[in-house]
Structure 1
Amino acid sequence: MNSLKKILGWLDRSERLLLVLAFVIMVATMFGSVLARNVFRITVSWLDELARISMVYMVLLGAEAGLRDGTQVRVTAFISKLSGGLRKALDIVAQIVLIAFTAMATRGAIINVQTNIARKVTTTSLNWPMSIPYMALVIGFSIMTLVQLATLVKMVTKPADQFGEKEEQV
């Protein structure tokens, strides 16, 4: 379990670093684009494209961070009224469904990236391989799958009488 915490800690730090990097790139490129348009009266389309790619990375990594922290929107009116083993069972089933979804999404994203590489599709302005923006899906859903698998392990090993209590942050 200790090695699981180390792996999750490394994933968390890496994810936060990527989020900060994507945010800085987005802000800088949007600022540059606004400056170019309003001060110099020129359009630099690659700045807008780079900002959009950064936003895609931020959205997918942010979605994973929300899942991990439990801040994603979810309907708890029914489940919160349950306690003990039934609540634990329903939460575990929901967790398994989430893992299945993120694993299938990861697989689909990998196929999409492979297809884009094979077809040599490029972005419009930057002329980068389209696999770069689509890698956000692979990275985001892969991290989601790994973190949710670890969460499932913690859920299964947690006693039913403690279920529903606030989880410790990974």
Structure 2
Amino acid sequence: MLRTIEKYFEPTVIVICLTAIMFLVFADVIARFAFSTSIAIANELARISFVYLIYFGISYAIREHRHMRVTYFVDKLPATLKRFALVISESIFLLYSITVCYYGVEITQQAVERGKTLSATQWPTSVLYAAIIFSGLLCSLRLLHSLYRIIALGETDLCPKEEIVS
């Protein structure tokens, strides 16, 4: 069960958010052209969905080792040095993710203390900022798993192989 959740969590959230964005924007466009009005809640929910889509997409890219990085020089290193370079790079990225998560908590706490709400839904702005916390936590977990694979299992080829389509 946990493996299934681990495998499909981010893609499911991403698909739900993208579907919501398409539906909400489509509905708002129809409302504007057909009824000369706007659906305020649709704009706000689409914005929230977009933010969550982006932040969960970051975690998914880390899990799939498809985040942007330049590996030309690392790929040329011998296996031991390559492992060392990967540990350093993943550790730096982990530190960054933990920092993002920490500041996400700070920003969300400030939003709660100020009592600000989103204009259309009247939801607290912390709902929007919580995406930073979720993403930081998921990214950190993904990077810890990557470090485990490098250190404990000795893996150095974490990037997925490109499929050749003929």
Please report the TM-score for the alignment, with normalisation by the length of structure 2: 0.89
Q: Of 12, 35, 50, which aligns to 2:7?
A: 12
* C-alpha deviation, 1:151, in angstroms: 1.1
Q: Does the Cα contact within 8 Å between 1:83 and 1:163 map onto a contact in 2? A: no
Q: When the two structures are aligned, how many residues end up with a matched partner?
A: 161
Q: Which residue does the alignment assign to 2:164? A: none
* C-alpha deviation, 1:8, in angstroms: 6.0
Q: Does the Cα contact within 8 Å between 2:66 and 2:159 map onto a contact in 1? A: no
Give the AA of the match of 2:61.
G
* C-alpha deviation, 1:44, in angstroms: 1.8
* C-alpha deviation, 1:121, in angstroms: 0.9
Tell whether 2:133 aligns with 1:138.
yes
Gapped runs of 5+ residues in structure 2?
Answer: 162-166
Q: Of 129, 151, 154, which aligns to 2:146?
A: 151
Gapped runs of 5+ residues in structure 1?
Answer: 1-5
Q: Which residue does the alignment assign to 1:115? A: 110
Aligned CA distance change for structure 1 residues 163 and 122 (closer, same or farther; 3 Å): same
Q: Percent identity?
A: 22
* C-alpha deviation, 1:29, in angstroms: 0.7
Structure with higher RCO (Cα < 8 A, 6+ apart): 1
Please report the TM-score for the alignment, with normalisation by the length of structure 1: 0.87
Q: Which residue does the alignment assign to 2:157? A: 164
Distance in 2 (alpha carbons) for counterparts of 1:73 and 1:91? 14
Q: Does the Cα contact within 8 Å between 2:74 and 2:82 map onto a contact in 1? A: yes
Distance in 1 (alpha carbons) for counterparts of 2:160 and 2:153? 10
Distance in 1 (alpha carbons) for counterparts of 2:158 and 2:140? 23
Within a 5 Å distance, the mapping from 1:26-45 to structure 2 comes to 26-45=21-40
Aligned residue for 1:122, secondary structure, equals coil
RMSD of equivalent CA atoms: 1.9
